[in-house]
Amino acid sequence: MTSPLENYKIYAIKYAHHDRPASANFIGGDPHDVSMPLDYFVWAVVGEGRTWLVDTGFDPAVGNRRGRTTTHRVEEGLQAIGIRADSVEDVIVTHMHYDHAGNRELFPKARYHMQDREMAYCTGRCMCHRELRHPFNPDDVKTMVGRVFDGRVQFHDGTSQLAPGLSVHLVGGHTNGLQVARVHTERGWVVLASDASHLYANMEQERPFPAVYNIGDMLEGYRIVHELADSPQHVVPGHDPDVLRRYPSPGKDTQDWIVRLDAVPR
């Protein structure tokens, strides 16, 4: 007998920011000479008895080295919604880039969920090429290998249901093993697309982001995330500042940096 679906709450927590021109966000550039910044998020999926964290962000030192501005520490954002970092037991790693797999010491109890192909990608021959390895932090990769030997990594091959109403799906494109999370909420199925689409414009205009392993898979990924979601309004990109304008904040103290993605967008 199939377990009933749970309605999860989803929080998008902004922890960093990067100013950049629109031309840096599309393959082939952009004819408009305008600013098109990126925000950096982690996501908390909160159920009745279990909380899942999607990605772990980076710490301020790594951000400084990469020219990114930390606006709030990840653990501060989690604390603001009542989650202690050292109590998190499950982390979904969408991919191993530095801005999604850092903060190595924050989650000592966590089991990490990732795709087979992502581990093979970030430890294999592709990392011999500077353009492909540049978005990875070697220390993050080494730490994840250590977690494998500590029994703290659960690998997935394609689509996996993690709990009733929560699943991961291999998309690829941005990296070889990128996965997205599909979450059931009161308003329906929401897809946390992560870097399957950095910005709304990437998927809506089918204009891929320049950091990419396979352009064909990235373009197919736009179709996949929309098939998984209940509507285009149920797909949440990984780095678009507009997410904070479309969704409501859970409180006055979290205005402009934490929003509820399970709520109906404005």
pLDDT of 1 strictly over 60: no
> Which CATH code for domain 9-171+241-260?
3.60.15.10
Cβ(43)–Cβ(55) under 8 Å? yes
Q: What is the pLDDT of residue 4?
A: 84
The tokens for 123 are: 């430890």
- In Å, how far are 31, 198, 206 from 28, measured between CA atoms? 9, 16, 12
Instruction: Dump pLDDT digits (tens) for 112-125.
Output: 999 999 999 999 99
For residue 206, what are its two tokens?
């089918």
| DSSP labels, 81-143 | TT--GGG--EEE-S--BTTTS--TTS-TT-EEEEEHHHHHHHHSGGGGSHHHHTTB-HHHHHH
- Beta pairing, strands 51-54 & 69-70: unpaired
pLDDT tens digits for 140-152?
Answer: 999 999 999 999 9
pLDDT, residue 147, reads 98
User: Quick check: 159 and 152 in contact, CB under 8 A?
Assistant: no
Q: What is the pTM of this model?
A: 0.97
d(CA 104, CA 56): 8
What integer best gives the mean pLDDT of the chain? Answer: 97
Neighbours of 171 (CB within 10 A): 29
CA distance 99 to 109: 21
* Mean predicted confidence (pLDDT) in 3-11: 92
pLDDT of 32 reads: 87
Cβ pair 236, 197 in contact under 8 A: no
pLDDT tens digits, residue range 32-78?
889 999 999 999 999 998 999 999 999 999 999 999 999 999 999 99
pLDDT category, 2, cuts 50, 70, 90?
low
Mean pLDDT of 97-119: 98
For the chain, give every domain's residue range. Answer: 9-171+241-260
Q: Say what the pLDDT of residue 43 is.
A: 99
